[in-house]
Amino acid sequence: MVLAMSVQAAAVPAKLLNVGFSQSPTRAEIPVLQMLRTTPGGAAMEPILSLEAVRRGASTAINTLHHPADVIRALTNGNVDAAVLSIQDAVAVAAEGRLDLVVLCPIGYSNGLDQLRVPLGWTAATLRSKTVLGEDFSPGHYLVFRFLQKNNLPLRNYLVWRNTPDKTLARTYRSALHASFPSAAAVQGAACETLAQNGGDGALFTSHDIPEEMIDVLVARKDRIAGRENGLAACVAAHFDIQALLADSATQKKTMESMGLACGLANDAALFGKIWKEITPYATPAEAKAVLEGPKFQEALAKAREFYATYGRAGMGAGTITCDSRFIGGTPQPAAGKKGPVQR
């Protein structure tokens, strides 16, 4: 359903945009390229996001944090105005923080990066009454929810979910693998590849089994958009700049190195390469716009809302999530007294 939204132009002064990212492959990509584009005079190197901001007369500040939970906290507390999150995280943030969020651009989706890891030999039946480690309302928690649905298993009381912070999850799970009563875990990224190399467990279910559901998106707090439109458009443009560099054989290697550095994998290019193969980016404005305006994105968002409604805390849910594709390919500039472009 498309709703027309009246936008009144106002003389809002330009404001600094604080944007948050975590050290996760798709979520770190916008600020990482600090050595691939020169300034107009050619004398210095700057991040692509900064260059895109300069072109638009905007000011941006990059806040790269270690874990998605840190980004979520910063967005909820108002320390950042926008962030790249999974749609599962965005739904939880809107509900628990009572925030109105706007999705500006889909970045890409997990296509095997998130995994439900179990000791070798375990099946869906083995998981009954077993402990599964993962962080509440995280993409991993959503993965377990969809695993249960796909296998026609009860969404509650089939297994024991144990809230485990993402920063300690892999270490806790490795210890649990050798315990008298081993556990399973919902993990992602480097942890999955490291566990696979160590042996003793395997992936029972991954995000590859639910394509285009675990999508990373650029979101902004609705109350922080005014005055920051150019900075937000710069963030979107930077994403597509990076995708173009990845598609160019002349710049692909250095781009991958920079992205690996941002994800804390500067000394393990092979590992980052494996991780990146389990991510499918939306590489062009046309593709991203079609996704954001299309039914599959709304279906994925509905599934994320269903997940939160199943496990979320009672009394939450006052926040909203809407979509605005106008930032893909430009900066919204409604004329004074006129209705702006439609918002989905």
Give dist(CA 321, CA 123) in Å, integer: 36
- In one-letter notation, the amino acid at residue 42 is G
Give dist(CA 208, CA 205) in Å, integer: 8
pLDDT at 77 over 80: yes
pLDDT at 180 over 70: yes
As its CATH architecture, domain 17-109+213-327 has 3-Layer(aba) Sandwich (3.40)
- Apex CA 220: angle with CA 217 and CA 221, to 5°? 140
Band (13; pLDDT cuts 50, 70, 90):
confident
Q: What tokens appear for 303 in the block? A: 């599934």
Q: Residues near 39 by Cβ (< 8 Å), separated by ≥ 6?
A: 45, 46, 51
pLDDT computed for residue 39 by the predictor: 47
pLDDT at 229 over 90: yes
- Apex CA 262: angle with CA 19 and CA 292, to 5°? 50
Band (267; pLDDT cuts 50, 70, 90):
low
Q: Which part of the chain is CATH 3.40.190.10?
A: 17-109+213-327, 114-209
pLDDT computed for residue 336 by the predictor: 41
pLDDT at 230 over 50: yes
Task: Name the average pLDDT for the chain.
Answer: 84
As its CATH architecture, domain 114-209 has 3-Layer(aba) Sandwich (3.40)
Band (167; pLDDT cuts 50, 70, 90):
confident
Q: What tokens appear for 252 in the block? A: 């692909």
Residue at token pair 């942890």: 191
pLDDT at 40 over 60: no
Closest CA to 296 of 209, 174, 210: 210
Q: Helix-strand-coil percent breakdown of the chain, rounded to 5?
A: 40, 20, 40
Around 256, how many Cα atoms within 13 Å sit in the side-chain half-sphere?
19
pLDDT at 36 over 70: no
pLDDT computed for residue 14 by the predictor: 85
Give dist(CA 10, CA 337) in Å, integer: 9
Which uninterrupted H or E stretch holds 257? helix 252-262
Percent of the chain at pLDDT > 90 equals 51
Average pLDDT, stretch 81-104? 93
Band (45; pLDDT cuts 50, 70, 90):
low
Give dist(CA 184, CA 123) in Å, integer: 11
* Whether the Cβ atoms of residue 282 and residue 236 lie closer than 8 Å to each other: no
Model confidence over 251-262: pLDDT tens digits?
A: 888 888 878 777
Model confidence over 200-217: pLDDT tens digits?
A: 888 999 999 999 999 999
pLDDT at 332 over 80: no
Q: Are strands 82-86 and 215-221 parallel, antiparallel or unpaired?
A: antiparallel
pLDDT at 250 over 70: yes
pLDDT computed for residue 82 by the predictor: 97
pLDDT computed for residue 342 by the predictor: 35
Q: Are strands 100-110 and 320-323 parallel, antiparallel or unpaired?
A: parallel
Q: What tokens appear for 18 in the block? A: 């604080």
Average pLDDT, stretch 265-284? 82
Band (273; pLDDT cuts 50, 70, 90):
confident
Q: What tokens appear for 223 in the block? A: 């109350």
Around 200, how many Cα atoms within 13 Å sit in the side-chain half-sphere?
13
pLDDT at 333 over 80: no
Give dist(CA 206, CA 59) in Å, integer: 39
Distance of CA 144 to the CA centre of its chain: 18
